[in-house]
Amino acid sequence: MVRIIGILIGLFFTAAVLWALATGAYTVASQGYLTEKTAETEFHKHPRELKLASDGWGGHWGEEDLAQLQRGYQVYKEVCAACHSLRHVALRDLAQLGYSEAEVKAEAASWTVPGVDPATGEATTRPGTPTDYFPSPYPNDIAARAANNNAIPPDLSLITKARHEGPAYAYSLLTGYAEAPAELKQEFPGFETPAGLYFNPYFANLNIAMPPPLHSEGQVTYADGTKASVDQMAHDVAAFLVWTAEPSLGKRNQTGWPVLGFLLFATILAYLAKQQVWANAKRRKD
């Protein structure tokens, strides 16, 4: 009976997977991706390769990598924070980037966060404290749309997890602004970049509402003296956004290997114990 139930459950999950595959294939075919060429499908580029210390199962941030994360934080603060929030990251987490307690307090105080006037109870603003989270640059979505051509800038806390190949995508998008190539216009005469949008081959529909945030060398003056080229700034902020998506990534990876080793050892012990417990029963059966 148990075997029959197991078979039925397996058949159910197999049918569900096949159904999902069939509906997905039908959706793709019905949208014309398999039959009709479009500017988006022909000229949309795969993200450029990006190497970071956090890559792979053993990825972590060593002492030498904290300088890059601090540079990325500086790029976010001086460039990206004007439009994008980090609402899931607390200011106290900056201590993980190698800042001292005093530096964390100073950094927190450099941000202006919403508050309440204790005398009147009215909404106001105040300097941030380490327990606060990174503030949003806009009071609400309406204000965000009004300031950005009716587009709401996405929160960047988890952007590297929300996008396929997130770190490489962020790096490629920041460095990918250019004029539409002549061959695109020749093959698709109807394609255009409307006013208020910008051509970027790493964006899904090739036209993006965000102006080039990193537009010139030296836009940020790094505290450690690193040359702030557009490529360097994009590389650094991509690394920082990997950290914001999972500040504990290094510790998780370091803890994971001992845990896997323990589980493997425990599995072997359990198997040997099972063999010992059932040895006499097998002999009696034989």
pLDDT digits (tens, 9 = 90+) for 233-259: 999 999 999 999 988 877 787 787 888
Residue with the bigger pLDDT between 240 and 282: it is: 240
74 lies in some domain: yes
User: Mean pLDDT throughout 104-120?
Assistant: 89
State pLDDT tens for residues 35-63: 578 888 888 999 999 998 888 777 788 87
User: Mean pLDDT throughout 92-113?
Assistant: 94
Domain range for 144: 47-89+134-252
* Separation CA 126–CA 193 (nearest Å): 41
Count of domains forming the chain: 1
Residue 33 has pLDDT above 60, yes or no: no
71 lies in some domain: yes
Would you state the pLDDT for residue 121? Answer: 77
Would you state the pLDDT for residue 284? Answer: 65
Would you state the pLDDT for residue 48? Answer: 93
Would you state the pLDDT for residue 5? Answer: 81
State pLDDT tens for residues 4-13: 887 878 888 8
pTM for the model: 0.80
Chain mean pLDDT for the chain: 88
Would you state the pLDDT for residue 133? Answer: 95
226 lies in some domain: yes
25 lies in some domain: no
244 lies in some domain: yes
User: Mean pLDDT throughout 189-205?
Assistant: 91
218 lies in some domain: yes
188 lies in some domain: yes
What is the pLDDT confidence band of residue 118, given thresholds at 50, 70 and 90? confident
- List the beta bridge partners of residue 185: none
- The domain spanning residue 203 has which CATH number? 1.10.760.10
208 lies in some domain: yes
